[in-house]
Amino acid sequence: MTAAISFRAATKVFGTGRDAVRAVDSVTLDIARGEIFGVIGYSGAGKSTLVRLVNALETVTSGEVIVGGQNITELREPELRKVRAGIGMIFQQFNLMSSRTVAGNVAYPLKVAGWSKQDRKRRVAELLDFVGIADKARTYPGKLSGGQKQRVGIARALATSPSILLADEATSALDPDTTQDVLTLLQRVNRELGITIVVITHEMDVVRSIAHRVAVMEQGAVIEHGAAYDVFASPRQRATQRFVATTLRDRPSPEVLERLRHRHPGRMITVSVREDVGTGVDVFAGLRTHGVDGAIVFGGITEIDERPFGSLTVELGGDDAAIEALIADLRQTTDVHDLGTAADPRDVPWSAAAEAPAPEDETTPAGVGPDGVRSGGVGLGGVSSGGDAGVTRPFGGAR
Ligand SMILES: Nc1ncnc2c1ncn2[C@@H]1O[C@H](COP(=O)(O)OP(=O)(O)OP(=O)(O)O)[C@@H](O)[C@H]1O
Ligand SMILES: [Mg+2]
């Protein structure tokens, strides 16, 4: 793998003494050339700081950041400018100049780079055509929709033909349909122009749709990373499990589970649906084989990286021994979480309650670290979990 970007124990501490915040904490990570790499995590996890290290908008406190084979932590300003020229960036708030037209905004970086007027004109036309807003060249940003503004942002970021595009919450201000349009455009930027894209987001849907690989950040650290499908289908860290559960909402949150138990006092199980293991159909085959009744009470099946992923929560009815045999059977092919019954409930791994004593969890607890530096970021425990609609939540519906 040729790395476009490598972090080597990269650490960024803001402030000193008691006020010090470890925004990025010893991150070691390779982002390959030509991939779309997602960085997810809740607010304050350190995502923006991590990408700002790439174009040296922030400098590391310790460790190294290597961009295109160059250790940028050793570079001086004139050399850094060259590295920055090869990196485009887009933002949540678009950051367009309101006094310039769309064409003027896109032409600006070319002007700074010393392009002739004629060359600028040709390049701007080409870029606006690529992002699909050629008809808006003379319009001012104030008259554009959010999606159109972000297209301008993307055109401007691509103007000087960077090899890396950093997208910091680039779709967070957009509605779901417009988000998908912009994500499709980013996919084209990646596929047709071969540009490495780093997508930072707290929205699971964004990484789910376009990221090839992902890293999950919490309190400055990367707690898990790998192929998007592997990380989301088999999250190893409790924090990632909860992130997947709370954002995909295919599993009942503790609150939803409470309500479900009122309506469905019998034995409930949550069965994973994945490409390599069973599908929903296996559950029904199992029910038939063992003569057990089953009612789907919650769930969702969607796609990650174009592969099926999700879970079904089923209430089982019938003979106890038959139910045990069915569960044992299902466990041969897929993950089964036993939720117990209303009278004898079991904790679920994706609930906050289950997260508290987590010896196998590699993440450091919130608060003061070994060296007295406070970790930045909001713990995942602070985020409300789960869906609220039970069976009425549409299948395939992440969020
Ligand atoms: N310039 C700064 N000075 C001091 N602290 C900072 C600075 N920038 C970020 N931080 C702190 O570093 C931590 C990480 O912030 P960062 O902006 O990287 O998080 P994030 O994951 O991008 O969050 P969000 O999703 O809200 O954008 C936070 O605790 C934040 O308060
Ligand atoms: Mg941020």
Give the chain's mean pLDDT: 85
Q: Do 191 and 281 fall into the same domain?
A: no
In the predicted model, what is the mean pLDDT of residues 32-46? 94
Q: Which amino acid is at 364?
A: T
* pLDDT tens digits along 64-75: 999 999 999 999
CA 203 to ligand 2 centroid distance, Å? 12
CA 94 to ligand 1 centroid distance, Å? 19
pLDDT confidence of 368, banded at 50, 70, 90? very low
Provide the domain limits for residue 80.
3-243
- The pLDDT score that the predictor gives to residue 232 is 84
CA 24 to ligand 1 centroid distance, Å? 9
Q: Do 183 and 317 fall into the same domain?
A: no
pLDDT confidence of 102, banded at 50, 70, 90? very high
Q: Do 219 and 268 fall into the same domain?
A: no
**Residue nearest atom 4 in ligand 1 by C-alpha distance:** 14
Q: Is the pLDDT of residue 352 over 70?
A: no
- The pLDDT score that the predictor gives to residue 279 is 57
Residue among 30, 29, 26, 27 nearest 4 (CA): 30
Q: Which of 195, 219, 243 is the last residue of a domain?
A: 243
**Residue nearest atom 5 in ligand 1 by C-alpha distance:** 14
Q: Is the pLDDT of residue 287 over 60?
A: yes
Q: In this structure, what is the dihedral angle of CA atoms 252, 254, 260, 266, given to the nearest 10 degrees?
A: 100
The CATH code of the domain that includes 286 is: 3.30.70.260
Which ligand gives the minimal distance to the CA of 20? 1
Q: Do 205 and 277 fall into the same domain?
A: no
In the predicted model, what is the mean pLDDT of residues 258-270? 94
Q: Do 234 and 280 fall into the same domain?
A: no
Q: Do 203 and 311 fall into the same domain?
A: no
The CATH code of the domain that includes 75 is: 3.40.50.300
- Which residues approach ligand 1 with their CB closer than 6 A? 14-15, 21, 23, 41, 43-49, 202, 376-377
Domain assignment of residue 399, yes or no: no
CA 171 to ligand 2 centroid distance, Å? 12
Q: Do 318 and 205 fall into the same domain?
A: no
- The pLDDT score that the predictor gives to residue 236 is 85
In the predicted model, what is the mean pLDDT of residues 244-259? 83
Domain assignment of residue 397, yes or no: no
Angstrom distance (rounded) from CA 33 to CA 36:
9
Quick one: what percent of the chain has pLDDT higher than 90? Answer: 66
- The pLDDT score that the predictor gives to residue 310 is 86
Q: Do 157 and 305 fall into the same domain?
A: no
Angstrom distance (rounded) from CA 280 to CA 275:
11
Q: Do 94 and 204 fall into the same domain?
A: yes
Site to probe by mutation for ligand 1, drawn from 7, 19, 21, 51 as the one with most ligand atoms within 8 Å of Cβ, is: 21
Range from 138-142, 181-185, 388-392 carrying the lowest mean pLDDT = 388-392
Q: Is the pLDDT of residue 351 over 70?
A: no
Is the CB of residue 283 less than 8 Å from the CB of residue 289? no
Q: Do 20 and 119 fall into the same domain?
A: yes
Higher pLDDT, 398 or 185: 185
**Residue nearest atom 14 in ligand 1 by C-alpha distance:** 46
User: Ligand 1, closest atom to CA 48?
Assistant: 22
Range from 81-95, 225-239, 254-268 carrying the lowest mean pLDDT = 225-239
Q: Which amino acid is at 348?
A: V
CA 153 to ligand 2 centroid distance, Å? 17
Domain assignment of residue 79, yes or no: yes
Domain assignment of residue 376, yes or no: no
Domain assignment of residue 398, yes or no: no
Q: Which of 195, 227, 243 is the last residue of a domain?
A: 243
Q: Which of 243, 265, 300 is the last residue of a domain?
A: 243
Q: Do 195 and 298 fall into the same domain?
A: no
CA 49 to ligand 1 centroid distance, Å? 6
Rounded to two decimals, what is the model's pTM?
A: 0.78
Residue among 204, 293, 287, 299 nearest 257 (CA): 299
- Bridge partners (DSSP) of residue 308 are 303
pLDDT confidence of 376, banded at 50, 70, 90? very low
In the chain, the number of structural domains is: 2
Site to probe by mutation for ligand 1, drawn from 24, 27, 48, 93 as the one with most ligand atoms within 8 Å of Cβ, is: 48
Q: Do 261 and 227 fall into the same domain?
A: no
Higher pLDDT, 232 or 27: 27
